[in-house]
Structure 1
Amino acid sequence: MAVQISPSILTADFARLADVAAKVAGAADWLHVDVMDNHFVPNLTIGLPVVESLVKATDLPLDCHLMIENPDRWAPGYAEAGAGSVTIHAEAARAPVRTLREIRKAGARAGFALNPATAVQDYEDLLGEIDMLLVMTVEPGFGGQSFLDIMLPKIRKARELIRKHGGEIWLQVDGGVSSTTIERCAEAGADVFVAGNAVYGSDDPAQTVRDLRAQAERAGA
């Protein structure tokens, strides 16, 4: 299992995003960008213009997580702007197959996210359309939440379905990932880890990324 770490900028300083990205350059695999619209989730963050600027300000590929209404309309634009991965939510997409294919056509990896209450087995038929499955381990919308241990069986189920399907589908977890939870996620089958507070709340974000990677590699070996 190839472990990847995607630090989330949600709790970082939005006025200095280029500097925020630079703090984990050379250590992280991705930069996780939480796009929230104050409709699908009760928070408002950043949108396409900021992503377009951030693409130019960092060599890290952007992992854009769209927590928005109507991702069918907006998601392809993030891929066209240069994001390396664009994830839409099952609960928001009305035409997920079409949208996932448009994301891929625009040159990005297509991700599909599930809220805690959404059953992964309900979307088994869509696995052939995605490059990454995201299991939310908190309710989406806010940073700094505590990890929901009740999601561990869901991560295991997701890994089981991915193995059954075959192909190179990454399994990402997002929410409360830290040094105290990442090993449990890796043991359950996750291989891509979003960490916000754990990384940017530390004195040395790059070293924290390296430490988290080492923990996940040991646990998932």
Structure 2
Amino acid sequence: MLKRSILIATTLAPALALGACSTGTKNRGLESVHQPVVSRTDFVFDVNTSGNNLAPGEAQRLAGWMQSLRLGYGDRVAIDDPNPYGNGIRDDVQSQIGRYGLLLSDEAPITGAPVQPGMVRVVVSRMKAVVPGCPDFSRVSQPEFESNTSSNQGCGINSNLAAMTANPGDLVRGQPGSGVTDPAQSTKAIEVYRKAPASAGASAGTSGGKN
């Protein structure tokens, strides 16, 4: 009986090993299964109005709120204003977000609660791109009997792409092209590099070469 049990275990061992090799993330092509996922978060701030302008002191409150959010490029700012004639309010809010180099969007996203009378809602939409499931070493690289690429393939490059994209929304829909080419804009990065002052290390290396 003992000999028979040993033979059965010996026979099943290769099958169990092959079964273990087939676990983990399957990546059957050259394109990685790990792709950036873009999510959006809406931040809302209600401010009081006085006629067609913000009430006294509300501009300062709004400025402090935007500073706490660290408003910047890629953020989308809109106003949910029931008053169709509140152009003065738009100008007041635009003067605040203009400090961050942003412009007001024409359409505000839908929020959870209605705007109370005598108030307007400022909505800041912020997108974030991440690559879920990375790093992924769930599948052994060898032996590989199903012709899968590494389960971690694409994690590095796609995670870097998600982190370096200034506006994550561009990963969903890119910026429209322009029919006008501006040479000054295209060579701006080169000019900044050439006009940058030499560092201490570079100066020391140059003087050492002359000696």
Shorter-chain TM-score range: under 0.3
Question: TM-score normalized by structure 2?
Answer: 0.26
Give the alignment's TM-score, normalised by structure 1: 0.25
Larger Rg over CA atoms: 2
Structure with more relative contact order (C-alpha pairs < 8 Å, separation 6 or more): 2
